[in-house]
Amino acid sequence: MLERLHIKNAALIASCEVEFGEGLHILTGETGAGKSMLIDSLSFVLGGRTGKDFIRKDAKMVSVEAAFRADGESLRLFLEEAGVEAEDDGSLLLSRTLNDAGKTVCRMNGTMVTTGMLREAAAFLVDIHGQHEHQSLLNPSKHIMLLDRFCAGELEEMQKEYTEAYESYRAAKAELETLLSQEDSIQQRMDLLSFQRNEIEQAALQPQEEEMLLERKKRLANGEKLMRLAEKSLALMYDGMQAIPSAYDMLSDAQKAMEEVAQIDESASSYAKSMGEAVTILEDTARAFRQYADGLEIDEASLEETEERLQLLYRLKRKYHADVEGILEKYEKIVKEIETLSDSSSYIAKLSEEKEKAYAKLEQIGAKMSALRGERAKQIETQIETHLKDMEMKTARFCIQIEQKASFGPNGRDKVEFLISANAGEDLKPLAKIASGGEMSRVMLALKTVLADADETETFIFDEIDSGVSGRTAQKVAEKMALISQNKQILCITHLPQIAAMADHHYLISKETDGESTVTTVTPLEEKDACQEVARLIGGSCITDTTMAAAKELLLSAQKQKQIQRNKNERQTEI
């Protein structure tokens, strides 16, 4: 969930910090006030592409920070692989800057990362939908990916197994074709394997090496801090500080005083003895710790060497698609294969067998994937049609058509396309041929509503997707957004009063100018101000008693509708 967004020098925004909570967040304002700039800034910090014109005029740099709270397992694994330290409470701080020279700096929880890594993290955090996304919905090649998101974890395990078989099949097929068509292909294979064997041998990989290097990197990267703390510890423990005696001096004085007590009263001798032991222990500890502290140094060369070694490991891991232990296992396989390649005919027979086994596995897993997609497609069709009916598409029919392609691809053999019949009596046709702008917005919202239950993403952003809807349809769209916000955080830019009235949090985006510069501001609205803004959306710039009364009635109706939805959710939860 997005908790805070801080923006500085982004286009018309000089400085802005907005806090977010749960539920539905509505952003409204006059046309041209810069409503989309808030979404653009969030897109920027999530790794979106932008240019230097994103920097505010006369500023040197734009910076955006976004604070999230997310503890999904997929995100945790991503952060671990990216080398980013995860916080215990699930908080994640993303930041990105861009200067007027075109240089960008990105960080996650203080760790410097690439823009690509920000984009990868964004996939676990936010689902941004603007009007341009209609184009992706109209593209049938994207439909299988949407369907697979509904299949969630069930398909994920199948996909991993399928991908492994698919890569094995392709590799065996390609190599077999090469061996059969080229006389010198065996030697080429030998050369490749020899290169890989030598590369792994020269790397001299060791089990658990990556963990040890990461620990060493952490220690070297904090060398200055360790030295400072060690110096302070020695000062407090033994050397003393200006006007502050050390613990050793104070304990020694206490020991002497106790010894004088013991000379007078022998029953106190055990205390003096214990104090003497404490002084000795402290002295021994100080001596040993001084040796540790003397060995500390800021060793940039060792840090660089450690980083280079880690980069070598990461490069090999990417190349061989395995961890260090997996690479070592692959090395053993390479050595054995080199030994067996002397007999080319046996190797060709082996490849043929591998190809046949991999293809059989593709057929087996591909059939399971098709069956799961078909099962989920029927469920999704029913759910989407229900949501479309709720949004005044009473006679709409929605179909997920799944056909078998001639050959296997990376996602199986299925060809998926979304079809719709918007009106009674019409045949099912591709979305691109039948859906208007208003219908497309409702289809997308229906998809998001169904997807909300199957997706780990906690934040949905809608940038003016209410295009082409009004009246009763707008009310139904508003109710649908409110329904999604029961379980997901939503940020929505809208011009429709029906949607604005459903807000749990309402923000007014306004633009002010002093004649020399223009500034966009974001203001959270209290109940009274929110009512006035809804009245403006109803009646335009001229707000009358009539429009205010209509706004109050609309807000009251929205609150009742949300309460009905909450009560319904609570009953379903109890069941």
Q: What does the pLDDT read at residue 572?
A: 61
Residue 144 lies in a domain: no
Q: What does the pLDDT read at residue 435?
A: 56
Query: Final residue of a domain: which of 366, 401, 429?
Result: 366
Q: Is 491 helix (H, G, I), strand (E, B) or coil?
A: strand
Q: What does the pLDDT read at residue 39?
A: 87
Regarding whether 326 and 204 lie in a shared domain, the answer is yes
Q: What does the pLDDT read at residue 365?
A: 94
Regarding whether 491 and 357 lie in a shared domain, the answer is no
Regarding whether 317 and 242 lie in a shared domain, the answer is yes
Residue 148 lies in a domain: no
Cα–Cα distance, 312 to 309 (Å, whole number): 5
Regarding whether 171 and 82 lie in a shared domain, the answer is no
Check residue 84 and report its DSSP letter. Answer: P
Residue 397 lies in a domain: no
Q: What does the pLDDT read at residue 454?
A: 65
Question: What pTM value is reported for the model?
Answer: 0.61
DSSP lists the bridge partners of residue 460 as 127, 490
CATH number of the domain that residue 89 is part of = 3.40.50.300
Q: What does the pLDDT read at residue 19?
A: 93
Cα–Cα distance, 334 to 327 (Å, whole number): 10
Helices (H), 268-418: 269-294, 300-320, 324-340, 344-390
Give the CA angle between residues 307, 308, 312 to the nearest 5°.
Answer: 115
The angle that helices 185-203 and 143-181 make with each other, rounded to 10 degrees, is 120
Residue 138 lies in a domain: no
Regarding whether 329 and 182 lie in a shared domain, the answer is yes
Residue 418 lies in a domain: no
Regarding whether 471 and 517 lie in a shared domain, the answer is yes
Reported as type and span, the H/E element at residue 207 is none
Regarding whether 237 and 101 lie in a shared domain, the answer is no
Residue 438 lies in a domain: no
Are 259 and 193 within 8 A, CB to CB?
no
What is the span of the domain harbouring residue 245?
153-366
Are 99 and 52 within 8 A, CB to CB?
no
Regarding whether 310 and 203 lie in a shared domain, the answer is yes
Regarding whether 182 and 103 lie in a shared domain, the answer is no
Regarding whether 168 and 118 lie in a shared domain, the answer is no
Q: How many domains does the chain have?
A: 2
Burial of 262 (0-12, 13-18, 19+ CB in 10 A): middle
Check residue 241 and report its DSSP letter. Answer: B
Query: Final residue of a domain: which of 308, 336, 366?
Result: 366
Give the CA angle between residues 80, 82, 83 to the nearest 5°.
Answer: 65
Check residue 400 and report its DSSP letter. Answer: E
Query: Final residue of a domain: which of 366, 398, 432?
Result: 366
Cα–Cα distance, 297 to 185 (Å, whole number): 54
Regarding whether 278 and 336 lie in a shared domain, the answer is yes
Cα–Cα distance, 318 to 348 (Å, whole number): 28
Alpha-carbon torsion 456, 461, 467, 470, what sign?
positive
Encode the chain (575 residues) as per-residue pLDDT tens digits. 999 999 999 988 889 999 999 999 999 988 777 788 888 899 999 998 888 889 998 889 999 999 999 877 778 888 888 888 888 888 999 999 999 888 999 999 999 999 999 988 888 888 877 655 545 566 788 788 888 888 877 888 899 999 999 999 999 999 888 877 766 667 778 888 889 999 999 988 888 888 888 888 887 777 677 777 877 887 788 777 777 788 888 888 888 888 888 888 888 888 888 888 888 888 888 888 888 777 767 677 777 888 888 888 889 998 888 898 999 999 999 988 887 776 776 778 888 999 999 999 999 999 999 999 999 999 999 988 988 888 888 888 999 999 999 999 989 999 999 998 888 888 898 877 765 666 777 887 887 788 776 666 788 888 766 766 777 888 888 888 888 888 889 999 888 899 999 999 999 998 887 767 788 889 999 989 999 999 998 887 788 888 899 999 999 988 888 888 777 766 665 55
Tell me how far CA of residue 169 lies from CA of 149, 174, 356, 360, 410, in angstroms: 25, 8, 8, 10, 11
Task: Extract the tokens encoding 228.
Answer: 């400072």
Helices (H), 114-207: 115-125, 133-138, 143-181, 185-203
Regarding whether 308 and 245 lie in a shared domain, the answer is yes
Cα–Cα distance, 210 to 193 (Å, whole number): 24
By residue count, the chain amounts to 575
Reported as type and span, the H/E element at residue 427 is none
Residue 49 lies in a domain: yes
Residue 424 lies in a domain: no
